[in-house]
Amino acid sequence: MFIFTAKLTRKKLAVGIAAAGILLIGIIILLTGRGGAEAAASSTPSPKGVKTLEDRVAYLGAYGWTADASTEECQEVVIPKEFDSTFEEYNSLQKGQGFDLSKIKGKRVLRYVYLVTNHPSGKNPVYASVLIYKNNVVGGDLQNPTLDGFLQGFGQAAPLPEASPESEPPPDTEPLPSTEALPGAEALPGAN
């Protein structure tokens, strides 16, 4: 028979009990599936370290969107120091995605725009805009710039296609040649 002895102070005993309690709580959370918020957060792509074309396309791809990398356009835009009602509404869309442009008021950001080729709305064109500040995604959207178009967040469900032929643009209508006419561009002072 072996006998093990140790000098145990009240402080060491308290630390040991606290560690065991934390371990037990962690096991309970894992076994009961109460870590749902963490699991949901882990399915959202990380907005940090998005530096290259491949990173931006992969970021959109993590939401299920196929961005045509050959259509990339980049603009430097300034987030206004004071938000008007239009920009407040746009920032509400961003807050719904976990971003908040009010944290970078007055800052210059890069706006990368891509043609999205797999949007289920049936409306063409659909553009994805990704706002980057210091190699981190700070906002963005998907939009269709037609008269009956839409503006949505990256992870929002796509608008349903319209059943009526009136919703389709006339056959002689061509896509916009640049992102200057995209909704929201005028709300970003400095957009060229």
Same domain, 21 and 48: no
* Per-residue pLDDT at 4: 65
Number of structural domains (the chain) is: 2
Q: Is residue 101 part of a domain?
A: yes
Nearest to 138 by CA among 125, 129, 146: 129
Identify the sign of the CA torsion 97, 102, 104, 105: positive
For 127-149, what is each residue's pLDDT tens digit? 999 999 999 999 999 999 999 89
Residue 99, pLDDT score: 93
pLDDT tens for residues 91-116? 999 999 999 999 999 999 999 999 99
Confidence band for 156, pLDDT divided at 50, 70 and 90: confident
CB 150 within 8 A of CB 143: yes
> 16 with 88, same domain?
no
Residues 76, 24 share a domain: no
**Percent of the chain, pLDDT > 70?**
67
Task: Compute the C-alpha angle 161/164/169, nearest 5°.
Answer: 80
Q: Establish if 22 belongs to a structural domain.
A: yes
163: left (phi over 0), alpha (psi -120 to 50) or beta: alpha
- Rg of the chain on CA atoms, in Å: 24
Task: Tell me which of 57-66, 140-149, 155-164 is least confident.
Answer: 155-164
| DSSP letters for 46-112 | P-BT--SHHHHHHHHHHTT--EEEEEEEEEEEE--SS--HHHHHHHHHHHTTT--GGGGTT-EEEEE
Non-local CB neighbours of 144 within 8 Å, separated by 6+ positions = 119, 121, 123, 124, 125, 126, 127, 150
Range of the domain at 19: 10-40
